[in-house]
Amino acid sequence: MNFYQHHIGDYAAATMHLTFLEDAAYSRLIRIYYRDEKPLPADVAAVQRLAGARSKEEREAVEIILSEFFTLEDDGWHNKRCDEEIGRASESRDGNDERKANDKERKRRYRQRRAELFEQCRNAGLVPPFDASLSDLESLLSRGQDADGDADRTRTGTGEGRGQDADGDGDGTANQTPDSRLQKDQKQKSLVQRAARSAARFPEFWAAYPVKKGRAEALAKWTARGLDAIADRIIADVQARKAHDRQWLDGYAPHGSTYVNGRGWEDEIETGRKPDRPGDGGGSAGGVFGVAL
């Protein structure tokens, strides 16, 4: 043990009658006991040597302490309080070891499940961000599977299976009249969900964006969020900010990855520029985008 609880009040009450040498001998013996986590040797001379008792008075002090505070058993001199403290420390270590083992196993299962979900996403043509959590991966994979299922149901509901006979010639007796509103809703949902699995419009966005930093992270977020579905809105916002946003015109446009992560197209555009300071020569060319003001 590298640590044990030393209750000063208990110790003082039990040792108040000891001489200086006897108190020192007792303190040294219990430190040896805790260090080795076992009883002191049965041989008194061996105990005296461990304690460093050299003089006659020191050796006698060791003998007095052994007779008063220790009990001789088959395996050596036992101290009741020391045995109790060592037992509690051992139980605590066993509990810590068990908790560490459980934590290690839980992390192993988490990493394994995450790797499996990444593989399933790749097989489905999905590109999740590198730092996606288990819930993110499961959600992304679920959206991809729902998109496939909706596409199949849409084909079936619009004539590829409904109302056709075994030859597929469409002469069955089922109602051939499609529910146009339902078809429209299903088609729109399918288009949105398929867009979530691609990043075909990302190159257009990246070409328009002025600060080309963090491309990989921006692409991952773009794909995971299905931003192809609103690519026109995002690109239009970028063009508007390049022309009118005060901070962007002053050269403070965020990195591309920051813009995508923070859904920058939802922020208001701050128009206008701060007036030039006196002595600046009356205005200057604006911003890093070459917009003259």
The answer to the question of residue 106 being in a domain is no
User: Among candidates 231, 248, 233, which has minimal Cα distance to 286?
Assistant: 248
In a domain, 250, yes or no: yes
Kindly state whether residues 19 and 51 are assigned to the same domain. Answer: yes
- At 122-134, the pLDDT tens digits run 887 788 887 878 7
**Total structural domains within the chain:** 3
Contacts (Cβ under 8 Å, ≥6 apart) of 125 = 144, 197
Helix, strand, or coil (residue 73)? strand
pLDDT of residue 74: 93
| Domain limits for position 79 | 8-84
How much is the average pLDDT of 201-228?
90
Higher per-residue pLDDT: 221 or 47: 47
pLDDT greater than 90 at residue 116: no
pLDDT digits (tens, 9 = 90+) for 25-77: 999 999 999 999 999 999 999 999 999 999 999 999 999 999 999 999 999 99
Q: Does residue 97 have a pLDDT over 50?
A: yes
- First-to-final CA distance of the chain: 75
Over the chain, what is the mean pLDDT? 79
Same domain, 135 and 150: yes
Q: Which of 84, 116, 133 is the last residue of a domain?
A: 84
What pLDDT does residue 291 have? 38
pLDDT at 23: 95
- Residue at 3 is within a domain: no
Residue 184 sits in the same domain as residue 227? no
In a domain, 72, yes or no: yes
Say if pTM beats, i.e. exceeds, 0.85. no
Identity of the highest mean pLDDT range in 84-93, 263-272, 281-290: 263-272
CB 150 within 8 A of CB 193: yes
Q: Which residue has the tokens 């992270």?
A: 217
- Structural domain contains residue 104: no
pLDDT band at 288 (very low <50, low <70, confident <90, very high): very low
Look at residue 256 and tell me if it is in a domain: yes
Selection from 51, 6, 55 nearest residue 25 by Cα: 51
Residue 285 shares a structural domain with residue 224: yes
Does residue 80 sit in the same domain as residue 149?
Answer: no
pLDDT tens string 177-208: 455 666 656 655 555 555 445 688 999 999 99
Alpha carbons 66 and 61: distance in angstroms, whole number? 9
One domain for residues 148 and 188: yes
Confidence of residue 110 (pLDDT cuts 50, 70, 90): confident
What are the b/e assignments for 236-268, b being 16+ CB within 10 Å?
A: ebbeebbeebbebbeeebbbbbebbbeebbeee
- Considering the domain architecture, whether residues 135 and 158 belong to the same structural domain is answered as yes
Does 57 map to a domain? yes
Tell me which residue of 214, 291, 220 sits closest to 254, measured CA to CA.
Answer: 214
> 79 or 197, which is more confident?
79
Nearest of 84, 58, 2 to residue 47 by alpha carbon? 58
